[in-house]
Chains A and B, each alone.
Chain A
Amino acid sequence: MTMKPKTKKTLVILGSVLGAIVLLIVVLALLVITPPANYVYMPAQAEADSLLVGEIVDMISDSVVDDEGNIPEIAEIDIPAEHVRALLRQVAYHINLKMKDEGIACSLDWLNGALAAECSYPLPKSKAVIARGAAVPTLKFGVFTLKTVRLSAGHLPLPSSISILKDGITEESFKDEEARQAFSTIHHLEPADNGGLRLGVYPERISSLIRLLVSGD
């Protein structure tokens, strides 16, 4: 039995389209799926970071009282990039502790005035999707914004308009009462000119921020 030329042509086109789709899926899978990442917090690094976070406490302390012993309405603190990185590494360590059972691991960093995050989401058979992103955080008039400047899933670039990073951070943060209180301490937050982070805090509410800083939860 011979196939009609028109049917044959249709089948060839259909086959090609299906093949292209399968190929695309395979290529996407190869781009997106990787072995899971394990962001280990080395003890020596943790020790060094602890001292830097301690210095942040000193900076806050110096800013909430001026030389005459008066308390300013808003205390301004410029936290250097190195100190912000130390703080973020500690935050990531505690997130990883909480997420250990689910196999989710993340790494946080501060690069060129932006928050850089990597998160490894587990898939079956020892595979994972590693989402990477960078965003600039600001907080003004009680509104927290996170402007995404880079986003990718594995090696696949994604449009930065996807708000996954902001949604993830705000959703997780605001679930926690302590984090909510700590946010209410902050009058403004923005990248500083020196590549670090500029914080304006209400001195009388500072205890919430300190509690979050030292609890590491």
Chain B
Amino acid sequence: MMLFRTRFHLIAAAFLLTAAAVVSAQDVPADMRPRALTVAEQLAIEEAKNAPSKPVEVRKTEEAKPAENVVDNRFAQIPDQAAVVLKLNLNKLYSSPTFKAVADSGDVLAIRNDLKQIPWTKDGALPDPVILYAPRMGSSYAMLVATDRPASEIRDQLVAKYGNSKKVASERTGLGEMITVTYDKVDRKTKKTTVKTEAEILFVSSKVAAFGRKGCPLDYGFFSTENLPEEEFAKLRDLPDTVVAAGVMRSFPVAASDDPTGLASLVTSGELMISEYEPGAVSLVLDLNCKNAKDAELAAKRMKSFLRITLVSLFAADKTLFQELNKACSTSSSGNTAKLEAKLTKNTMDRVRAFYLLEKTVVSVATDVAASVVKSVTGGKK
């Protein structure tokens, strides 16, 4: 599966997490539940239950203390070519009923399934991936994963797992230890054999691996730099457990002809934060930093337009719910920053979910619209 072929899919996935509010599943039928929870996930649920009910102060995340289980510098290797970076809290996604539908759908499910193929940690838990996208390299992306196992252990595990069906090789490269899993595919008509890559794992440090899957091979250009912007991404590493997803968009040039609504030209960088500020209640904050106050004002206006159109698209059939959501979401500008904020209470989310159960297509529509909006924010170039 081709994950995140375009950079806007990345952030679209994050937007989808908010649409996840849609499916806050307090009363999800048993047959819709995912597999039994792991110990780590149960712990995460307990943490969520005990979390303070006050909203998360998004702007202060840089000052937030790292969680105890955070491995030092685990995402320090984020290369500066990455224009969009998204970190997913997989444990939160899979343990919270609020995000159940998102966790079980599309790209997020594919990420989980891909990650499950590799024994990243000694206790078998899934790591939180950091997904990078570099628009200047076409559709390239990479996924960074924290691991507590050395390359040799992972290689041995994979050899034991695949036996003769797939070939596991490792080599030292200038960028670090590289493990590749390949298999032979025979064309039935021509009888020709081609070697297909199942997975590539590049150890960019002793605790961080870059992960590429079939169809999405690693772009080594990502890792050819020594200039690592540790400060910019420290906030991603140290996010509190209530954060479900967070993203950073960097300044990057977009050709005017690839910026259909002119929004990308206004924005120099941006940050996205989606949190479950209390069980069942979700907040989203998107900050877009602009060149000047005038641009920020225009960017806020454009976000307001997109937000309104998105809400109309989704909830036109339930006008009172539309109005409730319209009030819960707001856009503003302050100085050089345009801001989109959405705070959805548990009650609102329950209503949204009820609407979703009635209108099954809402999530896919949300994805489409969010993708369109994000494409406009980040420019149209794929």
Say whether A and B bind each other.
yes
Task: Tell me the bound Cα distance from A49 to B258 in angstroms.
Answer: 11
Closest to B370 in A: A207
**A47 & B319 in contact (Cβ 8 Å cutoff):** no
- Which of the residues A49, A57, A204 comes within 8 Å of B302, measured between beta carbons? A57
The smallest C-beta distance from A85 to any residue of chain B, in angstroms, reads 15
Binding-face segment, A6-14, A64-72, A166-174: A64-72
Which B residues from 251 to 273 make CB contacts under 8 A with A?
255-263, 265
- Answer whether A204 and B317 are a contact pair too, CB < 8 Å, given A50-B265, A211-B369: yes
Inter-chain contacts of B302 with A (CB < 8 A): 54, 57-58
Inter-chain contacts of B369 with A (CB < 8 A): 207, 210-211
Closest to A71 in B: B316
Inter-chain contacts of A41 with B (CB < 8 A): 257
Closest to A45 in B: B256
- Is A203 in contact with chain B by the CB < 8 A criterion? yes
- Is B313 in contact with chain A by the CB < 8 A criterion? yes
**A53 & B317 in contact (Cβ 8 Å cutoff):** no
- Answer whether A214 and B257 are a contact pair too, CB < 8 Å, given A207-B368, A207-B372: no
The smallest C-beta distance from A181 to any residue of chain B, in angstroms, reads 10
Closest to A178 in B: B368
Main SS of chain A's interface residues? helix
**B380 & A64 in contact (Cβ 8 Å cutoff):** no
- Is B293 in contact with chain A by the CB < 8 A criterion? no
Task: Tell me the bound Cα distance from A159 to B124 in angstroms.
Answer: 74
Task: Tell me the bound Cα distance from A90 to B259 in angstroms.
Answer: 10
- Is A114 in contact with chain B by the CB < 8 A criterion? no
Inter-chain contacts of B365 with A (CB < 8 A): 207
- Which of the residues B260, B305, B310 comes within 8 Å of A50, measured between beta carbons? B260
Inter-chain contacts of A204 with B (CB < 8 A): 312-313, 316-317
- Is A61 in contact with chain B by the CB < 8 A criterion? yes
Task: Tell me the bound Cα distance from A207 to B308 in angstroms.
Answer: 11
- Is B301 in contact with chain A by the CB < 8 A criterion? yes
**B306 & A215 in contact (Cβ 8 Å cutoff):** no
**B368 & A211 in contact (Cβ 8 Å cutoff):** yes
**A46 & B322 in contact (Cβ 8 Å cutoff):** no
- Which of the residues B255, B312, B319, B372 comes within 8 Å of A64, measured between beta carbons? B312
Task: Tell me the bound Cα distance from A41 to B260 in angstroms.
Answer: 13
- Is B304 in contact with chain A by the CB < 8 A criterion? yes
Which A residues from 176 to 217 make CB contacts under 8 A with B?
203-207, 210-211, 213-216
Inter-chain contacts of A205 with B (CB < 8 A): 313
**A51 & B262 in contact (Cβ 8 Å cutoff):** yes
Task: Tell me the bound Cα distance from A61 to B308 in angstroms.
Answer: 6
- Is B354 in contact with chain A by the CB < 8 A criterion? no
The smallest C-beta distance from B191 to any residue of chain A, in angstroms, reads 33
- Is A105 in contact with chain B by the CB < 8 A criterion? no
**A203 & B316 in contact (Cβ 8 Å cutoff):** yes
**A46 & B380 in contact (Cβ 8 Å cutoff):** no
**B323 & A50 in contact (Cβ 8 Å cutoff):** no
Inter-chain contacts of B309 with A (CB < 8 A): 57, 60-61, 64, 206-207, 210
Which B residues from 229 to 287 make CB contacts under 8 A with A?
255-263, 265
Inter-chain contacts of A43 with B (CB < 8 A): 255-257
- Answer whether A90 and B260 are a contact pair too, CB < 8 Å, given A60-B305, A214-B373: yes
Q: Which residues of A does B touch, CB under 8 Å?
A: 41, 43-44, 46-47, 49-51, 53-54, 57-58, 60-62, 64-65, 69-71, 90, 93, 203-207, 210-211, 213-216
Q: Can you list 20 A-B pairs with a CB-CB distance of less than 8 A?
A: A46-B256, A47-B262, A50-B259, A50-B261, A53-B261, A57-B306, A58-B305, A64-B312, A93-B257, A203-B313, A206-B309, A207-B310, A207-B365, A207-B369, A207-B372, A210-B372, A211-B369, A213-B260, A213-B261, A214-B376
19 extra A-B contacts, CB within 8 A, seeds A57-B309, A71-B322, A205-B313? A41-B257, A43-B256, A46-B255, A46-B256, A46-B257, A47-B256, A47-B265, A50-B259, A58-B305, A69-B326, A71-B316, A203-B313, A203-B316, A206-B312, A206-B313, A207-B313, A207-B365, A207-B369, A210-B369
Q: Which residues of B does A touch, CB under 8 Å?
A: 255-263, 265, 298, 301-302, 304-306, 308-310, 312-313, 316-317, 319, 322-323, 326, 365, 368-369, 371-373, 375-376, 380
